[in-house]
Amino acid sequence: MDLSQLTDRINSALATLQYGQQPVALYEPIRYIMALGGKRIRPLLTLLGAHIFTDDLEPALKPALATEVFHNFTLLHDDLMDQAPLRRGKATVHEKWNPNVAILSGDVMLVRAYELFLGVQAELLAYVLGRFSQTAAEVCEGQQWDMNFETETDVSIQQYLDMIRLKTAVLLGFALELGALLGGASRADADHLRQFGVGIGVAFQLRDDLLDVYGDAATFGKRVGGDIVSDKKTYLLLMAQAQATNTQRAVLGQHIGQPVIDPEAKVQAIRAIYNELEIRPQTEALINEYFLDALQHLERVAAPESRKKPLHQLALQLLEREQ
């Protein structure tokens, strides 16, 4: 399993998808956002999940694309809700066209995502679509919690972990479960792969929180400290708020929810508190916990180690771990 060959295969298949022609304002934004690229992690997970159980990946290809179309649908609507100007360095759909086009193109993308499942064998289709629908609703729930948290002052660490699980991790879990089911896995094995994917997904999001504060600006791809400047309630901030001394709490209070005069000074002040409280090693420990728990689910899947190895490797890559 060469991951870059598999990604090429996914991108070739994505390039052949027909979303529709007329009206242009409905379908052009779909082609636009799908062409912005990305790592295509979700279809990759589906194909790797299938490959554990079968060498014939063809039946899994279109449903694999469904997870990518769905993911991009959520990006399109989330960018509108978050009023984000850019996506992968290009104008977002609501900026390039307008908000109504973003709403309606997104709606059609969700329909097209469902259509991509319809070639699934009849005896699996209802189960697969039931799992997909539950996942899709959970992703919406995660986005709603995320928006709620922006204005809530009292977000618990457990609430935050639940939010990132719903918003990000469950779709990674479903992508793997889908591949397993299409590859002929038992439902028990498919569920272990799902739980593996959910665990990796939460760990991945926690690592993203960490990189925002401690990442190398050159390789991170986003402005370091962006979460801090915007008062985003990340795992790091919630942990710091929970563990702060009175002095540290006063410093946090001077910055959080206040107008930002000097962003760099704000980032330095908050990062200093994170350092004093050892938030970084605590976060790394939690990432490790999720990772090891996820691996246990992968181990329980009834398949030879050699078939599971590419997935293990991808998880390591996603978390940028050596082993």
Binding site for a second copy (CB under 8 A): 20, 22-23, 25-26, 77, 80-81, 99-101, 103-104, 106-108, 110-112, 114-115, 118-120, 122-123, 125-126, 129-130, 133, 136-137, 140-141, 143-145, 147-148
Q: Smaller CB distance to a second copy: residue 101 or 181?
A: 101
Q: Smaller CB distance to a second copy: residue 25 or 292?
A: 25
Q: Smaller CB distance to a second copy: residue 133 or 258?
A: 133
Four-point Cα dihedral 162, 165, 171, 175, nearest 10: -130
303 and 53 Cβ atoms separated by less than 8 Å: yes
Nearest to 15 by CA among 49, 65, 60: 65
Nearest to 79 by CA among 135, 20, 32: 32
26, 58, 116, 212 from 99: Cα distances, Å: 12, 37, 26, 29
CB of 20 to a second copy, least distance (A): 6
CB of 54 to a second copy, least distance (A): 21
Q: Smaller CB distance to a second copy: residue 5 or 153?
A: 153
Nearest to 17 by CA among 70, 83, 54: 70
CB of 106 to a second copy, least distance (A): 8
CB of 134 to a second copy, least distance (A): 8
CB of 246 to a second copy, least distance (A): 33
Six token digits for residue 250: 């006063």
CB of 273 to a second copy, least distance (A): 30
Q: Which amino acid is at 228?
A: I
CB of 141 to a second copy, least distance (A): 6
How far apart (Å, rounded) are the C-alpha atoms in residues 219 and 207?
14
How far apart (Å, rounded) are the C-alpha atoms in residues 293 and 180?
19
Q: Which amino acid is at 132?
A: F
Q: Smaller CB distance to a second copy: residue 125 or 295?
A: 125
Q: Smaller CB distance to a second copy: residue 166 or 318?
A: 166
Phi–psi pair at 119, nearest 5 degrees = -85, -5
Question: Using alpha carbons only, how large is the chain's radius of gyration in Å?
Answer: 20
Q: Smaller CB distance to a second copy: residue 108 or 319?
A: 108
Six token digits for residue 170: 């469950």
